[in-house]
């Protein structure tokens, strides 16, 4: 079975193409809300062509989205191109894992997808750090129950806010500085954001473990900024780049 899995985030649309259990390729597009479905269909056709995949080879599709304005646009593009109506992850799919948070509608599709994948792939309890547009930590207890999560501004949001809301602080890249004590403006910002995010993850893990009343948990990280932040953490995280895509495949197959 050939499956297209879409993770629509605030910054990127991540597309994974599965051939059975094998992830054939991963590609990304910008999450441009103003694009029409035909434009996205053309981009998708080009991506499939690059990876030597024909639209008629696609057997199904599934979408996880945190950008409502793009959800139906992408769904229409997929239907136009492949003739297949995608499944859209929503509150009804919480049955794929245990949850007691109410209302169910407050659980985002990305949280559902990541949680389903983590329960299937890792020992429990499990904490999932998703370092994307927002920095999130998802909490799954030893019974496989989704307990909730934490949400903080992401790395780029924090850097952009400093640049836009101050007169003199420049935009910087996310290179890890040599020292926590910065000696110039760029290093100071890098230290605050990179080391600060790493320290937040370390501290939040300890707080969450205390609330769960467990000495340890499996720590998993995903999201675009993980590679910059994880080496600076004192906690040891397993980096899983395609965690959400794996969760989407599991939901589709269930």
pLDDT tens track for 163-219:
899 988 888 887 888 899 999 999 999 999 999 999 999 999 999 999 999 999 999
Q: Supply the residues annotated as catalytic.
A: 110
CA distance 20 to 52: 17
Residue 120 CA to residue 118 CA, distance in Å, equals 5
pLDDT band at residue 92 under the 50/70/90 scheme: low
Structure tokens at 93: 């799919």
pLDDT over threshold 70, residue 41? yes
What are the C-alpha distances in Å from 20 to residues 3, 16, 240? 8, 12, 19
Residues in a beta bridge with 218: 126
Question: 107-145: per-residue pLDDT in tens?
Answer: 889 999 999 999 999 999 999 999 999 999 999 999 999
pLDDT at 96: 61
**Same fold across 2-88 and 96-247:** yes
30 vs 17, higher pLDDT: 17
The CATH code that applies to domain 2-88 is 3.30.420.40
Contact 194, 174 (CB under 8 A): yes
What is the reported pLDDT for 177? 87
Looking at domain 96-247, its CATH superfamily turns out to be ATPase, nucleotide binding domain (3.30.420.40)
Tell me the domain boundaries of the chain. Answer: 2-88, 96-247
Phi and psi angles of residue 235, each rounded to the nearest 5 degrees, phi first: -75, 155
CB 225 within 8 A of CB 174: yes
**pLDDT over 90, % of the chain:** 80
Cβ atoms 138, 217 nearer than 8 A: no
């Amino acid at each position: 079975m050939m499956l297209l899995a879409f993770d629509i985030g605030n910054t990127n649309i991540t597309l994974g193409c599965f051939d059975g259990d094998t992830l054939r390729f991963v590609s990304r597009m910008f999450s441009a809300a103003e694009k029409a479905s035909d434009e996205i269909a053309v981009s998708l056709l080009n991506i499939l062509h690059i990876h030597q995949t024909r639209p008629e080879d696609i057997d199904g599709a599934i979408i996880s989205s945190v950008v409502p304005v793009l959800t139906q646009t992408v769904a229409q593009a997929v239907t136009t191109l492949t003739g297949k109506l995608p499944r859209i992850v929503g509150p009804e799919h919480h049955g794929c894992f245990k949850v007691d948070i109410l209302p169910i509608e407050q659980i985002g599709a990305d949280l559902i997808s990541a949680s389903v994948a983590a329960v299937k792939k890792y020992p429990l309890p499990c904490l999932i750090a998703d370092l994307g547009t927002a920095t999130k930590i998802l909490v799954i207890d030893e019974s496989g129950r989704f307990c909730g999560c934490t949400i903080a501004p992401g790395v780029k949001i924090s850097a952009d806010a400093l640049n836009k809301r101050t007169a003199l602080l420049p935009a910087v890249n996310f290179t890890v500085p040599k020292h926590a004590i910065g000696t110039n403006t760029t290093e100071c910002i890098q230290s605050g954001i990179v080391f600060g995010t790493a320290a937040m993850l370390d501290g939040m893990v300890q707080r969450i473990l205390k609330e769960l009343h467990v000495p340890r948990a499996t720590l998993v990280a995903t999201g675009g900024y993980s590679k910059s932040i994880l080496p600076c953490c004192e906690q040891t995280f397993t980096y899983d780049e395609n965690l959400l895509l794996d969760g989407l495949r599991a939901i589709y197959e269930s």
